[in-house]
Amino acid sequence: MVKIGLIYKQLTQRDIKVLNSIERGMKRYEYVPLELIEKYSKLPETHVVLILSKLHRLKLVKRKTISGYKAYRLTYLGLDMLALNTLVRMNVVEAIGDKLAVGKESEIFRALAPGGKPVAVKFMRIGRTSFHTTRRVREWADNPRLDWYKQAKIAAEREFKATREIYREGGSVPSPIAYNRHAVVTEYVSGVELYRKPEIEDPYTVLLRILETIHIAYVKVGIIHGDLSEYNVLIDISSNTPYIIDWPQYVYKEHPQAEVLLRRDIEYIIRFFRKQYKVEVEINRALKYVRGEDEQIQ
């Protein structure tokens, strides 16, 4: 298992400067020429070469020889280091610990904010599965020039802004704290993923709270999750509270597929509760409630 915190502790400010130079160069090149890295970093060539060797050993960069010249690009782990360095300088994160979860397009780590407050850091990993899949479900990824790291940065910004608005309106999502590049920092939620079928004291109330959050997102924020299922709901067993996570693929309610996606979200979650917890909620009534057409579901 990659220990992000241990790797970060090995980096000097010169290492970060070289990583920043590669990131800057990737706006123009897939692989950034060595001479450009030297120019951006303003470090002597011999120093840059040694630093690049270290970064390559730590798997923070990939290298390639193009027309006889060496060139480099960041890996996701290298981008992690840049985001983490900025979050530390922002006084948002003080230390990062073990990996909590791995998703199709993200990795989540336990971390500490200054003062010892537990938080979670989510690093987007867009493109891990398939660029084609990503572009099929996300309008913002339609541009073929939008590289993996740009997609990941957009996904983080979308997730942060969506959850911030939903949280402000009283929706049940982890409280967002900050984001940088492809990383989003939220409050730490000690929950169990719904797909694990945890024992819930009052599953009916939990389902209503999930539907209330979808209602808040739709009516007050104007968005639809678009990929809601038992895999992106956390349950805090101690408080009987659900938290809806994974929002970067949301669509606005004016989207041509909005009604299809909204119905699918609601059908998936209601069917899961019906099958696993024997909770009965009528789908069409739930749809009217979520749209704001009815004040109550039952």
Active site residues: 227
Burial of 130 (C-beta count, 10 Å sphere; 0-12/13-18/19+): exposed
Tokens standing for residue 90:
């922002």
Distance CA 188, CA 177 (A): 10
H/E element, 6 = helix 4-9
Tokens standing for residue 157:
């910004």
Tokens standing for residue 291:
């749209």
Tokens standing for residue 225:
């999750």
Write down how long the chain is.
298
Spell out the residues 6+ positions from residue 252 whose beta carbon is closer than 8 angstroms to its own. 222, 223, 224, 258
Please answer whether residues 5 and 96 qualify as being in contact, where contact means their C-beta atoms are separated by less than 8 angstroms: yes
Distance CA 269, CA 230 (A): 7
Q: Which of 139, 169, 298 is nearest to 244 (CA)?
A: 169
Q: Which of 227, 265, 19, 20 is nearest to 106 (CA)?
A: 227
Residue type, position 90, single letter:
M
Please answer whether residues 117 and 142 qualify as being in contact, where contact means their C-beta atoms are separated by less than 8 angstroms: no
